[in-house]
């Protein structure tokens, strides 16, 4: 290999997780609705932001994951 490091470009591969992302969206909306109904007003914004961040991290992990064939 002549001492050269072989690098491969990382390509974005979408695996078609539309139903999973729809489920995550419905889950996010449900959790925010529960937070809005149960928590006092001063906790609504930080708690809903936390839910959105966590669901975003999960969605990013799913998109970034490669499926090994």
Question: Is the residue at 53 inside a domain?
Answer: yes
pTM here?
Answer: 0.64
Question: Is the residue at 48 inside a domain?
Answer: yes
Domains held by the chain: number: 1
Contacts by 11-15, CB closer than 8 A, 24 or more apart: 13/66, 14/63, 15/67
CB within 8 Å of 32: residues ≥ 6 apart: 48, 51, 52
Question: Is the residue at 58 inside a domain?
Answer: yes
Question: Is the residue at 12 inside a domain?
Answer: no
Question: Is the residue at 23 inside a domain?
Answer: no
Local confidence pLDDT in tens for the 69 residues of the chain: 556 666 666 666 555 667 778 888 999 999 999 999 998 888 999 999 999 999 999 888 877 775 544
Best CA proximity match to 69, nearest among 19, 7, 13: 13
Contacts by 32-36, CB closer than 8 A, 24 or more apart: none
Domain of residue 45 covers 39-69
Question: Is the residue at 47 inside a domain?
Answer: yes
């Amino acid at each position: 290999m002549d001492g050269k490091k072989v690098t491969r470009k990382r390509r974005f591969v979408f695996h078609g997780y539309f139903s999973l992302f729809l489920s995550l969206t419905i889950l996010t909306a449900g959790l925010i609705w529960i937070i809005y109904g149960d928590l006092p007003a001063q906790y609504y914004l930080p708690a809903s932001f936390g839910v959105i961040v966590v669901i975003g991290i999960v969605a990013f992990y799913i998109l970034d994951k490669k499926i090994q064939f």
